[in-house]
Chains A and B, each alone.
Chain A
């Protein structure tokens, strides 16, 4: 069946060289089945993701207060953000500090724990996986950290410090700009074993065990050699996935941060790019500005993803 269409192409080519478009159409028709496979997902994805993103990009060049129709203003929103909005620059700085710490650490932790757990016996492994993943599944229970770090004497940590006489006055963990970022980073790292952690566990599960047996015969001596010569190269696809999840969650963080440090936080010390976006979108109803922030954030993530990709490409080569 595969040879038939090829012969047709070659005979036609003698008389009438086919146009590029015609060839493309032929390939599309040959792959009809593939299009049926992607169509249901693709149509919904187009409607509920691609279209809204396109509209948001358009809105980033307009003034839009959700009551009057959008008015085209060109690059004005972008210029305002970069030149006239001091708080945006604070948010950018905070986001970079936050992302540079939590991104790599949560990525590394997800892989290291998935890898270490992988050699334990199933039952103890299932138990430890549950304990390590529990913070990600805890829903609203993560707000226990607001009680942990609460600034009055009933805060768990403050009460201990006062009780033991280490401090005389409770420390304002959640409102003092000196402490805020550290506290937020601790809480987010506490929840860092999430999506990528599970993907890594399942991925490690899928590596053919005969590879390891063969490697042991070939003279692999310890767990580190095994990691670098077999496990990491086998995991490359998942590592790419994990990197992107780490980048998106660390750069777009706001929803876990706002309940902890308040909105807006004291001196904007816990203000991130997405917190600023929420400020424009949900508080001031300036959707044009909010969309411009989303576009800037998008390109920031794309650039950092390219950089990380370069590092990942070096694995196992």
Chain B
């Protein structure tokens, strides 16, 4: 019975004790409860009718779930003079365009920095890492000036182009390429006459799949929440988080709607996370290339 239970949960390893495994599982379960319960409460709030939201003492779970908050949100959305789908499309353009460009450009650069030894490579990498440590609040004004010199103010490019060169992706991809691509693999491909371009797409990228799947999650999430308020003035170019934050700023009367907004904004990033993360886990065993 114990053995069946174990096989259900763990990939069996000879170096593990059952007591240890069980302790680990209980520990993870406790942590998962701590991390999930506040969110369960938040989501449950989104389905509470107004009288339950202001009930004392407040209840953790909803008693009479209602879609009223979501319906209110729908009404508020349809009363904006720009069709709400417009905001969604804007955010999707920024999120997808930014993520794809960032993953490709950062991986290209990371491959060269990780596997080619050329003058300036170490220097460039340290600059990227150090840049993570500079508070981004003070670079906002210089950034705005540069964006306006380039003529990008009030276009989606003002958000997409800087996203392509975020520091995070290069740092992350370099660590992945260094750890997952053995030099011997590249050497043998070069001997067979493959160009660096081919090596990058046919050997490097397929083998660091867990790396860029993870980067897609992170980049998607960062851009999805982008309000763009600093750069974008035209109403028809504004983003979904911006439009929703306008609705929520209506104060305490919109408490239920705010909860609904939070839940709706979470749907897509969670979907991307679940899809990519399960693919990261699938890659197990495929590392037989070494």
Contact = CB atoms under 8 A, between A and B. Distances in A.
Contacts of A201: 214, 277, 280
Interface stretch (B8-16, B63-71, B76-84, B86-94): B8-16
B185 to A, nearest CB: 13
B49 interface: no
B24 to A, nearest CB: 5
B288 to A, nearest CB: 8
A244 interface: yes
Contacts of A48: 143, 146, 161-162, 165
A94 interface: no
B20 interface: yes
Interface in B133-149: 133-135, 137-143, 145-146
Contact of A41 (B45, B54, B108, B269): B108
B134 A137 contact: no
B40 to A, nearest CB: 10
Contacts of B20: 222-223
Contacts of B27: 116
A240 interface: yes
Contact of A226 (B8, B15, B175, B261): B15
Contacts of A47: 146, 150, 165
A28 interface: yes
A299 B11 CA distance: 45
A50 B129 CA distance: 12
Interface in B174-195: 175-176, 178-180
Contacts of A38: 108-109, 112-113, 121, 124
A38 B117 CA distance: 12
Give chain A's interface secondary structure class.
helix
Interface stretch (A10-18, A78-86, A156-164): A156-164
Contacts of A45: 128, 131, 165, 167, 170
28 contacts: A24-B119, A27-B119, A33-B196, A34-B121, A45-B167, A49-B162, A52-B143, A128-B28, A129-B277, A133-B273, A134-B35, A139-B262, A144-B38, A144-B45, A154-B56, A160-B57, A190-B34, A203-B175, A206-B179, A206-B210, A206-B283, A222-B15, A223-B15, A237-B179, A244-B132, A248-B133, A298-B134, A301-B133
B35 to A, nearest CB: 5
B175 A241 contact: yes
B278 interface: yes
B4 interface: no
B58 interface: yes
B42 interface: yes
Contacts of A99: none
B280 A274 contact: no
B224 to A, nearest CB: 8
Contacts of B128: 45
A130 B273 contact: yes
B164 A41 contact: yes
A195 interface: yes
B149 to A, nearest CB: 10
A120 B39 contact: no
B213 interface: yes
